[in-house]
């Protein structure tokens, strides 16, 4: 029963992430920390975030405007401007 509840918490958190692109960790980590040790919850959240962000990025790859990404300042460009 507890495993089902934990799976439901993770499902809800990542459903919010899939819809909005944000919100999986703020929902899942505090709630899961009530049931599991915090170091395990943080490791689990990091692994799940990496996987879900990669899957969402692959799924929406065609919708990305590469010109906008190229216009973002990189650390190297930012360093030149500040001198």
Six token digits for residue 39 = 């170091």
Structural domain containing residue 67: 2-81
Q: What's the domain count of the chain?
A: 1
Q: Of how many residues is the chain composed?
A: 83
Report the alpha-carbon distance of residue 8 to residue 25 in Å, rounded.
14
Rounded percentage of the chain residues whose pLDDT exceeds 70 = 90
pTM attached to this predicted model: 0.64
Q: Output 63 or 12, whichever has higher pLDDT.
A: 12
Of 15-19, 43-47, 59-63, 76-80, which has the strongest mean pLDDT? 43-47
The dihedrals phi and psi of 59, each to the nearest 5 degrees, come to -65, -35
């Amino acid at each position: 029963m507890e495993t089902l509840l934990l799976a439901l918490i993770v499902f809800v958190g990542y459903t919010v992430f899939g819809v909005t692109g944000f919100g999986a960790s703020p929902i899942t980590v505090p709630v899961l920390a009530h049931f599991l040790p915090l170091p395990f919850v943080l490791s689990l959240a990091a692994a799940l975030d990496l996987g879900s962000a990669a899957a969402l990025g692959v799924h929406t790859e065609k919708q990305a405007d590469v010109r906008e990404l190229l216009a973002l300042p990189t650390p190297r460009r930012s360093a030149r401007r500040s001198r």
